[in-house]
Structure 1
Amino acid sequence: MQSTRTTHRRRALAAAGSVLALTALTACSSVDDGGSGDGGGDGEGGSTLSELQDAGEINVGFFGEVPYSYMEGEELTGATIELGRQIYGELGIDTVSGTQVEWNALIPGVQADRFDAVSAGMSILPERCEQAAFAEPTIMYTTAFLVPEGNPNNLTDWQSVEGGDVTVAVTQGAIEAGYAEETDVDAMEVPDRQAGLDAVMTGRADAYALTGISLRALAEETDQPVEATEAFVATINGEPQIGAGAEVFRQEDTELLAAYNEQLSTILADEAAWLEIMEPFGFSSAEFPPEGLTADALCDPEQDLSDLADELGMDY
């Protein structure tokens, strides 16, 4: 039987579909510095991997979201960036540069050769897997709410916002927008974290839903009277949502994807090595991918997430 996550995630991305298509048509056809410019395949001009190794640089698309990938002054940094720097460095690509775009332009941008990969901690979803190639999971996600101090509505999990009694801000194109689409939630879409924070502070929204790690960082960096709730695994229509983020490549860049995954596997084999890279950005063992979780499983629209969660021993 087809998983219920197919329906709500397809609906979640349907609204962004026209934006994705339009952006893909209008995006420039040549890569930024460090790109292949030939669609990234293994054609006569050589593979993307070999071209990046020759150039010694890879240009990644990023959204600008703390703590994943963002600019700190003039420096590109973040957990996914630093993880990429280590992996690409092992592949002989010593420089990681970036191009910041809107969230909905990340996949169209890599498809159109504006950059060589996406480094934004993007969640692995079946609909996205139809458009791009995801590396193996590198980060596990839980959901949380950014709320006024004291959490006046006592929001604890996704069920606590269902029913339309509260208004929840969600980022356009993000997983939480799909959760709201599929459930009885009064939601308003915002373009980014700052807009989500503003919506809560002005009272236009009672809460802002996003990944727990993002909201913890946002609550810590702002002086506004807000707090992040305890993170939780969202249950939508009775099914736990296994959220995992990964690096994203063009589908034809099979050699680059395989090389990235090979280096990633050595880091994931040692949780301490993963934590050494990720912990400075606020990640903990709670975000470390469980053994046995694969991109193939998360890309499969027929995968029953309840069964998968049970197989992996996940609590929800």
Structure 2
Amino acid sequence: MFKRTLTALLAAFALAGCSGGNSTATNEQTLRIATEGAYAPFNHTNADSTLGGFDVDITHELCARMAVECQISAQDWDGIIPALKGGKFDAIISAMSVTPERSEQVAFSEPYYSNSLVFLARQDSAFDPNNASDIAGAKIAAQGSTISSQWLEATHPNAKAQLYNTLDNAFLDLGNGRADAMVADLLPALTWLGSDLGKNFTIKGAPIDINDHFAIAVNPEDAELLAKFNQALADIKADGTYDKLVTEHFGEMAANTSK
């Protein structure tokens, strides 16, 4: 189904190029973009059920540069790659880490964000992530099927890992004392620490650099669409739009570490 959509989309690009200006035909094309809608500050669902966050805003910018409409929909994390491969979506823009396992199923764009992991625990907790016995003896929360849980299970196989279907549920159990600590991406962790539930918690130890990069995922056969995304990413980085969005969502310091 998407091959027909992509063919029409590329034809519209060609028409726009031949006309020497923006063609209204390109605006009739719609890319269907999946995001989780539950991973603030990258993507979240607002009280009115609309979607917001960095992933959503960067998606709108990329689609504008590609001269196409974009329809962004929330999709549960565990089903997000199957939904792409099943033809429900044309791309995933949802803070998705590039991993060898995922690269066997999807094609990734150039990275659009570099991520690090952190441990969280109560401020008055003696939990020390540099102490292997502390990790082995603690109930550690993480969102399942993410780079956080994969890193935890691979690096600390003796840890008492508690995996959750959403990040919010993992934070909820940590905040309510049903977990001793948690491993999570840095920016979502900082966002949660600013909430009422997270106010008595803190980052334990230093951020963990695991060479983790977020990228856009498309089906492997959609090489031309992937090239369009890569060009649009290059364009928004070149003209300062990317840095503006990073600063707007994450602050000045993040703009220096996100590339």
Global fold match (TM > 0.5): yes
SS at match of 1:152: coil
Kindly tell me the number of residue pairs found equivalent between the two proteins: 241
Please report how far the alpha carbon of residue 132 of structure 1 lies from its aligned counterpart in structure 2 after TM superposition. 0.5
Equivalent residue, structure 2, for 1:99: 73
Aligned with 1:274 (options 239, 242, 245): 242
| Alpha-carbon contact 1:144-1:228 (below 8 Å) kept | no
Please report how far the alpha carbon of residue 187 of structure 1 lies from its aligned counterpart in structure 2 after TM superposition. 0.7
Q: Does 1:124 align with 2:98?
A: yes
Please report how far the alpha carbon of residue 172 of structure 1 lies from its aligned counterpart in structure 2 after TM superposition. 0.9
Aligned with 1:180 (options 137, 140, 152): 152
Q: Does 1:200 align with 2:174?
A: yes
- Using the size of structure 2 for normalisation, the TM-score is 0.82
Aligned with 2:115 (options 141, 152, 162): 141
What are the equivalent positions in structure 2 for 1:1-316 lying under 5 Å apart?
Answer: 38=1, 40-41=2-3, 46=7, 49-50=10-11, 53=26, 55-64=28-37, 65-72=39-46, 73-93=48-68, 95-148=69-122, 150-156=123-129, 163-182=135-154, 183=156, 184-229=158-203, 232-234=206-208, 241-269=210-238, 272-282=240-250, 284-289=254-259
SS at match of 1:194: helix
How far apart, in 2, do the equivalents of 1:266 and 1:44 lie?
24
How far apart, in 2, do the equivalents of 1:231 and 1:92 lie?
45
Distance verdict in 2 for CA 1:128–1:231, change over 3 Å: farther
Root-mean-square deviation (CA, aligned residues, Å) is 2.6
**Amino acid paired to 2:163:** E
SS at match of 2:216: strand
Distance verdict in 2 for CA 1:83–1:61, change over 3 Å: same
| Alpha-carbon contact 1:138-1:245 (below 8 Å) kept | yes
**Amino acid paired to 1:281:** H
Distance verdict in 2 for CA 1:228–1:112, change over 3 Å: farther
Distance verdict in 2 for CA 1:105–1:51, change over 3 Å: farther
Query: Structure 1: which 5+ residue stretches go unaligned?
Result: 1-37, 235-239, 290-316
Query: Structure 2: which 5+ residue stretches go unaligned?
Result: 14-25
SS at match of 2:244: helix
Distance verdict in 2 for CA 1:118–1:136, change over 3 Å: same
SS at match of 1:120: coil
Equivalent residue, structure 1, for 2:23: none
Q: Which moved more, 1:159-168 or 1:198-207?
A: 159-168
- Percent identity (aligned): 19
| Alpha-carbon contact 2:30-2:70 (below 8 Å) kept | yes
SS at match of 1:241: strand
CA deviations over 1:194-219 (Å, ceiling 9, x no partner): 21122113322111211000111112
| Alpha-carbon contact 2:34-2:75 (below 8 Å) kept | yes
| Alpha-carbon contact 1:171-1:190 (below 8 Å) kept | yes
| Alpha-carbon contact 1:133-1:250 (below 8 Å) kept | yes
Distance verdict in 2 for CA 1:169–1:223, change over 3 Å: closer
How far apart, in 2, do the equivalents of 1:176 and 1:87 lie?
27
More strand as a share of residues: 2
How far apart, in 2, do the equivalents of 1:231 and 1:214 lie?
17
How far apart, in 2, do the equivalents of 1:109 and 1:202 lie?
33
Distance verdict in 2 for CA 1:268–1:160, change over 3 Å: farther
How far apart, in 2, do the equivalents of 1:162 and 1:76 lie?
38
Distance verdict in 2 for CA 1:156–1:267, change over 3 Å: farther
Distance verdict in 2 for CA 1:55–1:70, change over 3 Å: farther
| Alpha-carbon contact 2:55-2:93 (below 8 Å) kept | yes
Please report how far the alpha carbon of residue 256 of structure 1 lies from its aligned counterpart in structure 2 after TM superposition. 0.9
Distance verdict in 2 for CA 1:219–1:160, change over 3 Å: farther
Please report how far the alpha carbon of residue 45 of structure 1 lies from its aligned counterpart in structure 2 after TM superposition. 7.5
Distance verdict in 2 for CA 1:266–1:77, change over 3 Å: same
